[in-house]
Structure 1
């Protein structure tokens, strides 16, 4: 009979040497001798994970945790596996279990913080990051995670300090270079961002995220080499969805509207049975409002792979958008009660002129989440069609919509903004037509005229708040009547002859805006801002609740829950600054 201790020691040595298959063989031989031994099961789980055997690894981890449910290291390693296979909530639960068992296990705390940042929950990661800073303030892994969190929260100086600290220790760290480049891009220093991305690329030339950052940095500097660089990377990695989406956006903004999704189409000829790729292609076409093309692509996917809940959700939305209301009804019926699809379902019900059903669907969801902008936007339409006092309370109270005058050197501001508009066409998925939109945030850049206009706009927001009705804790905007508001996004739009905005809302804000820098010559109501009109494609025929004439130096403000768009203008230039504000 083999010596148990010797066999386990050999398995450990093989694992450390990277001979994971040999380690697994020894551990499988060992298990019948020792039973559900925690250390053996744990090492077996790690070996299976290194070999890419996800199901076997998960089974071994669960057996190990069944024997030792409070083992901090096993919980942490199992969480790592779950994170890598996309089970974020499961991973968070096991990181938390690891910390409950051993609060001093810094790896679990750092891993949990990093996952929260990846999920877009940076504020929730701050307690873990702060706790780790007190213990290991100079740890490079902590500074990378802290920098990513600060960047996500818009604290650019703090993010730069974290990434710079890593680079002081490890000048060739690709993640730190990439993070610092993103800070520079957000701050408007496109030249520095490009230099940093080039250095990151020299260190890690096969990292897709670095290639994407470099391509976008080249684009931001007005260089044409970014698009072919990204196209080559996507060609080499056809299943890379983030790259495919970025390539589609870049092609769209370069004016290649007919072929903006060419990367997806080529990839799907190579990988016709890849469900995530097909799903990504359909979603990309939907963002571009190419609904007829999207439903053809969806039907091709379903013909190969059969129905699925995801395909049913796409079918419900797309069938409604192309006017096949019976098909949409059937698909929504198959989907059932899906809160995430509620705004799309309500949109469909409104298109069918059934506001009562739309209101019944949305009311409990909107009242439970005052920040659910899309829910409130469609609920406002339903309440308006039902002609009740609830719509007056939500959208018609005096002071919700208004204008403020901002004193600024408009000519100097216009010159700076024109220099930031470097694309040639509107981006996929945005509301403008016949113009361009700046990409990274406008406010926070180290440009004096932008700092000045930001201060003026902040004063304008405060003036608007003072003119609003009193605080109402039940209202999606008035609950913040007396609260300080911060920018959740800021950008500039430049429209040319025939340009306009389609009706849309801003899900990231509570108060939305348009600050007019340049306006075309007035011809009736051409170019005017419409607030409160439902999207015309719903066919409801309801007029706007407010019409605002664009005037240079004027700031228009309105609840983010109100649909808004602009009327086309025949010729000239219309340039604005827009932002969302939230508490």
Structure 2
């Protein structure tokens, strides 16, 4: 190697060292001081793009990567790192395209494989994740990350026991593989094995400082109702990793539910004051402010972010939502269209569909619905908006789609063994479930108003009484499924199977003036409303559950198709795509429910 080449390598190593030691500004300074010919070398430009990324200057980083890839499209590392910038910008679709290009150029590129798998898992596209694992199983067969991803897919598909078993096997084979230990802790927590999860997380924290371990420990403590220690755990996670989005989200969600308004949002504010270029963290904060109906603060944060980076799609999407909230639908629609064109994420598509329907542009809405149905065939929110478009454009097709006579059924809960009557069973359930409502207000991401919701998976807590309730649910769901007609073409009926599992379960306690906003359950197949205790004065005008009306406030064009006045001991089952919500009621008596979702286990139903 010549002296000039050695000098050039030393320069590259010096720049790389600064980036790796979190001194990206010094790396930029070194690059800017170089002669023009050296600055234009692709390896130097690559490092400069990485430095901009570390500094949060994502548009500048992306511009450099675009220039590099226009000249050197066959450089796998450039493709992979460009994907990382797109991911940080929230454009997971383009990120995935670049990861796959990197893998096509270099089939054993582990980082590109890991990045692509993470996108599939984070997007809940488990079918694509499974296909990718199969395609690269031989290439990465000796690397433990392959098995870890297999467990991650099982976890995402809510096969918690299978995921836990696989994580345990990985940890036995690789005792120092901390990421697998953390995956095991998540599987244990989601299986309501909180004590085991906490012990494992404490073992990890005794070995090393881990933001993820603190975060998961906080989740366990929150489910246990140990809110003070949970807050400390989330704060420790953020201290170790200020950009930790999930930790910020869970901390502030908990503070909201505890009505700790003096602390609510402060973690976001603290970090963004010192690191204002953390664009995704600001977007999360804006989302939380909108959900909390703190619209003025949301506008303020959007303006700060857009002043720094005018093209930030996530903040433009939030601005569109606020414009729609102000009934400025035309401007909101144009902005939503722009964001959808740029990113084409699931969420962007849904927001565009909502505004297209409001603007009576049903053709545009249907076009995006068709695209999302193809990409997310089991997502019930997409099916719900499909139903709304049919309702507004083809009432006969709508009636065929919702199948009102078959799809919504009310049952009386069966009385489990050990009880002489339903009233005694409900009385015990009311006492137990009431004791589990220890927060002060609703979860931000949920649709209830003036009430509380239990965390975790209610029916997996190991309580004997809840096991009896689960039996009652499963017995009733079997009857409901057996009465459904067969239809391989209908998106609900084609999933019909006598084998099913309850994937989510929780309890909701509504208080005086409480209600549910019209909504669906996106990840379900069959959903439910089970009434444990109801006020005496419920009627079709107070506290009833109503089906078929979207949350878009479309007036007489979109009225409910069916109302049911709840009774204690009643279990109502319906397709998860069916819009449902409740009317407020006036009473000091609580309205206590224990809903759940069901998904089929793929086997065709046969009598």
Q: Same fold (TM over 0.5)?
A: yes
After superposition, the C-alpha distances for 1:58-94 in whole angstroms (9 at most, x for unaligned) are 589859966xx5xxxx637853673476275566556
Determine the structure 2 residue equivalent to 1:557: 573
Q: Where do residues 494-509 of structure 1 align in structure 2 (5 Å cutoff)? A: 494-509=509-524
Instruction: Find the residue that maps to 1:489 and give its secondary structure.
Output: strand
Select the residue among 550, 573, 577 that pairs with 2:590: 573
Determine the structure 2 residue equivalent to 1:427: 443
Q: Which moved more, 1:367-376 or 1:221-230?
A: 367-376
Q: Which moved more, 1:273-282 or 1:43-52?
A: 43-52
Q: Where do residues 181-580 of structure 1 align in structure 2 (5 Å cutoff)? A: 181-205=185-209, 207-223=210-226, 224-231=228-235, 233-234=237-238, 239-257=243-261, 260-271=264-275, 275-291=279-295, 293-299=297-303, 301-302=305-306, 306=310, 309-322=313-326, 325=327, 327-336=328-337, 338=340, 341=348, 343-345=350-352, 347-348=354-355, 357-370=360-373, 371=377, 373-378=380-385, 380-381=387-388, 383-384=390-391, 388-395=395-402, 397-409=404-416, 410-411=425-426, 413-414=429-430, 417-418=433-434, 420-443=436-459, 446-471=462-487, 473=489, 475-481=490-496, 486-525=501-540, 526-535=542-551, 540=556, 543-569=559-585, 570-580=587-597
Instruction: Find the residue that maps to 2:543 and give its secondary structure.
Output: coil
- Quote how far apart the aligned CAs of 1:502 are: 1.9
On the 8 A contact 2:512/2:590 being kept in 1, the answer is: yes
On the 8 A contact 1:110/1:129 being kept in 2, the answer is: no
Instruction: Find the residue that maps to 2:406 and give its secondary structure.
Output: coil
Instruction: Quote the Cα distance in structure 1 between the aligned partners of 2:440 and 2:514.
Output: 13
After superposition, the C-alpha distances for 1:341-376 in whole angstroms (9 at most, x for unaligned) are 45445544665xx6xx24333233334554454454
Instruction: Quote the Cα distance in structure 1 between the aligned partners of 2:291 and 2:322.
Output: 11
Q: Where do residues 25-64 of structure 1 align in structure 2 (5 Å cutoff)? A: none
- Quote how far apart the aligned CAs of 1:108 are: 6.4
Residues 307 and 540 of structure 1: CA distance in aligned 2, closer, same or farther (over 3 Å): farther
Instruction: Quote the Cα distance in structure 2 between the aligned partners of 1:434 and 1:211.
Output: 31
Unaligned runs of 5+ in 1: 34-39
Instruction: Quote the Cα distance in structure 2 between the aligned partners of 1:309 and 1:55.
Output: 14
Instruction: Find the residue that maps to 1:225 and give its secondary structure.
Output: helix
Determine the structure 1 residue equivalent to 2:76: 75
- Quote how far apart the aligned CAs of 1:187 are: 0.6
Instruction: Quote the Cα distance in structure 2 between the aligned partners of 1:267 and 1:105.
Output: 34
Q: Which moved more, 1:372-381 or 1:509-518?
A: 372-381
Unaligned runs of 5+ in 2: 21-25, 56-60, 417-424, 601-607
Residues 320 and 117 of structure 1: CA distance in aligned 2, closer, same or farther (over 3 Å): closer
Residues 231 and 391 of structure 1: CA distance in aligned 2, closer, same or farther (over 3 Å): same
RMSD across aligned positions (CA): 4.7
Q: Which moved more, 1:461-470 or 1:106-115?
A: 106-115
Instruction: Quote the Cα distance in structure 2 between the aligned partners of 1:265 and 1:288.
Output: 16
Calculate the TM-score normalised by the size of structure 1. 0.77
- Quote how far apart the aligned CAs of 1:468 are: 3.7
